[in-house]
């Protein structure tokens, strides 16, 4: 089931720092350095494989941007929110925030 924009915004209220942009739920993480960026990216990649749901990711020196949508459904589904919740858990451990 694809969520409406209103449902998406409501569900995002429980995910700190995530927003809805151009058909994706999005979060940008600030990291200390390239090493932390790569470590976070690898953790997210492993989670994505476990969920069998793959985000778009943009990485740079001290930044990692994650964009989630369910391509085959052409919108935001429960899969996106489940992966976002798990990304938040692992990111909080890695970034210690």
Instruction: Give the HSE-up count for residue 25: Cα atoms under 13 Å, Cβ half-sphere.
Output: 34
Listed by start position, the domains of the chain span 5-95
- Does the pTM surpass 0.75? The reply is yes
Residue range 14-47, pLDDT digits in tens: 999 999 999 999 999 999 999 999 999 999 999 9
Kindly state which CATH superfamily the domain 5-95 is placed in: Transcriptional coactivator/pterin dehydratase (3.30.1360.20)
Residue range 44-96, pLDDT digits in tens: 999 999 999 999 999 999 999 999 999 999 999 999 999 999 999 999 999 98
């Amino acid at each position: 089931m694809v969520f409406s924009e209103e449902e998406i915004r409501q569900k995002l209220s429980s995910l700190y720092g995530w927003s809805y942009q151009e058909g994706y739920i999005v979060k940008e993480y600030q990291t200390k350095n390239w090493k932390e960026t790569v470590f976070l990216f690898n953790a997210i990649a492993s989670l994505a494989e476990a969920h069998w749901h793959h985000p778009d990711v943009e990485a740079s020196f001290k930044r990692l941007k994650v964009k989630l949508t369910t391509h085959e459904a052409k919108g935001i589904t429960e899969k996106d929110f489940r992966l976002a919740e798990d990304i938040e858990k692992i990111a909080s451990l890695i970034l210690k925030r």
